[in-house]
């Protein structure tokens, strides 16, 4: 099973919509979002594309109730407090905004951990646990919006970035 990974979209709706188009073109039907949507309208691209999404709140998500209400309008969209632990495709997944908020034993009890907050793409392993940060979907800090696709079976990550003048700062 392959899923899209996003984090730190920080209201940049055009970048969110572009990543969703990329995900759809690659046959992805579910996105895991590691927080910092910021405003409820950042969920519009998911609803417009009818893209399923599971996400957690980040440190910059101030109006949690409006985000929850907005997510409930979309088909297949769910938002949870961070951290959120669940199973998909026989894998135990931990979705968290800031990895520093999680004890090591919680990390190592999962097959895959998806996190954000650092605004940089990275992948590492801790024991048998794969830890992935898809980077910043907004591109505000590093200048280029980024995301990823994760294959649960092979544990391979495909890094995505939006290139071109319109995405640069």
What parts of the chain have a pLDDT lower than 70? 169
pLDDT at position 115:
98
What CATH topology corresponds to 2-167? Purple Acid Phosphatase; chain A, domain 2 (3.60.21)
**Cα–Cα distance between 100 and 87 in angstroms, integer?**
22
pLDDT at position 139:
93
pLDDT at position 103:
84
**Cα–Cα distance between 7 and 35 in angstroms, integer?**
5
Domain residue spans in the chain?
2-167
pLDDT at position 126:
93
């Amino acid at each position: 099973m392959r899923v899209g990974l996003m984090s730190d979209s920080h209201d940049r709706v055009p970048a969110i919509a572009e990543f969703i188009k990329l995900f759809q073109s690659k046959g992805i039907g579910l996105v895991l979002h590691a927080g910092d949507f910021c405003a409820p309208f950042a969920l519009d691209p998911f609803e417009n594309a009818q893209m399923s999404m599971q996400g957690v709140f980040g440190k910059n998500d101030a109006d949690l109730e409006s985000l929850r209400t907005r997510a409930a309008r979309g088909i297949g969209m769910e938002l949870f407090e961070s951290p959120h632990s669940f199973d998909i495709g026989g894998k135990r997944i931990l979705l968290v905004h800031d990895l520093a908020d999680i004890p090591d034993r919680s990390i190592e009890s999962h097959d895959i951990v998806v996190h954000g907050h650092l605004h940089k793409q990275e992948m590492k392993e801790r024991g048998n646990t794969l830890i992935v940060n898809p980077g910043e979907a907004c591109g505000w800090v590093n200048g280029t919006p980024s995301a990823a696709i994760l294959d649960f079976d092979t544990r391979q990550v495909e890094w995505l970035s939006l290139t071109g003048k319109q995405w640069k700062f």
